[in-house]
Amino acid sequence: MKLSAFSVLDSYAEFENGERDRFAELLSLGESADAAGLHALWVAEHHFHGGGVCPSPPVLLSALGQRTRRLRLGALVAVLPFHSAIDIAEQYALVDRLLGGRLNLGVGSGYIPLEFEGFGIDPAEKRERFDRTLANVLAAWRGEEVRAETPGASAVRINVRPVQSPHPPLWVAVQRREALPFLAKAGRSIALIPYATLDSIAELSALIQGYREQLPPGIRCEVAAAVHLYAGPDPAEARRHLQRYLDSRLATQSPNYEAKVRRDPRHASVSSVEESGFAVLGTPAEVAEHLDRFARAGVDELLGIFDFGGLPASSANASVRALGVEWAQRAGR
């Protein structure tokens, strides 16, 4: 199993007041992940709220590319219903060029009501828009003609295509388990945020097994899963910041997590997320040992959320470095 980092770039008062620089801290996290031997760093796209302050992953990934050498860099996700296919195809192709072929691309249909309201998009249309946009992005990357949805637009071929052929590795973010059979049959790799929808690693394992059973014969796809991680000397500090993060998810009206908390209010607490196995806070050795459970569950890439809830950058960076060393030592045994 590969160990990576994932940041949703959640922001709080100390960032908004200028006391801390969220983007500078993220660039520093990328340097730490690169030095620590992690496989990749992924960033989320969000708009109009403090739950995520990266409206343009291509810009941030390009900046990270200048600070790193071997680390793969990804968007998780590019929210396709909010963009034209030509914009997505051109911008991420250019990023892959600038990164020398280190781009990973996760795509999704979005889930925050405020974001749909801000773009004036009916959420009922999001899956149709997602399917249409993804098909056109892939066509553009194959060198085929595509047409903008603006009336009167001419068919065009984009003039910058990715380094990676036929395109950068692609994942689809999944929060609705009923979507899994369709993605499996289409041969799509998937990315999961299990704390928001699942109750245990055993449930995650069963979900992954069901997904793999429905893949076409001979097709190998990957499963990525995001988990909150802290590897260091002060788990109590990390728990305080993780609770802050969970509270912010409810404040931004994350529908799937809200529904989980309505079913059982205990899921709004750090203790519940830790009991489920989807937050791992402890010494590097304790965290690494726990992560073996995800490998046994069928996860190919574990996406560690290290910089949650305004945790001090020094703590997040030290956590990345310490766990990277521990993970490398275990892999070398």
pLDDT tens, residue by residue, 115-133? 999 999 999 999 999 999 9
Q: What is the mean pLDDT of residues 87-95?
A: 98
List the domain range (segments joined by +) for residue 121: 2-331
Q: Contact 193/226 with Cβ under 8 angstroms?
A: yes
Q: Which of 218, 206, 225, 237 is nearest to 305 (CA)?
A: 225
Phi, psi of 225 (to 5 degrees): -140, 135
Give the per-residue pLDDT at 333.
Answer: 52
| Alpha-carbon distance values, 35 to 61, 65, 67, 68, 324 (Å) | 17, 13, 11, 8, 9
Which residue, among 90, 91, 124, has the nearest Cα to 110 in the 3D structure? 124
pLDDT tens per residue across span 20-54: 999 999 999 999 999 999 999 999 999 999 999 99
Sign of the dihedral through C-alpha 34, 38, 40, 42: negative
Which CATH number is 142's domain given? 3.20.20.30
pLDDT at 176: 85
Is residue 131 within 8 A of residue 186, CB to CB? The reply is: no
End-to-end CA distance of the chain: 15
Instruction: Say how many domains are in the chain.
Output: 1
Report whether 175 contacts 166 (CB < 8 A).
no
Model confidence pLDDT, tens digit, residues 263-290: 989 899 999 999 999 999 999 999 999 9
By C-alpha distance, which of 57, 186, 201 is closest to 130?
186
pTM above 0.95, yes or no: yes
Q: What does the block give as tokens for 153?
A: 């637009």
Residue 146, strand partner residues:
156
The answer to whether 254 and 196 have CB atoms below 8 angstroms apart is yes
Q: How far apart are CA 324 and CA 244, in angstroms?
A: 25
Strand pairing partners for 52? 49
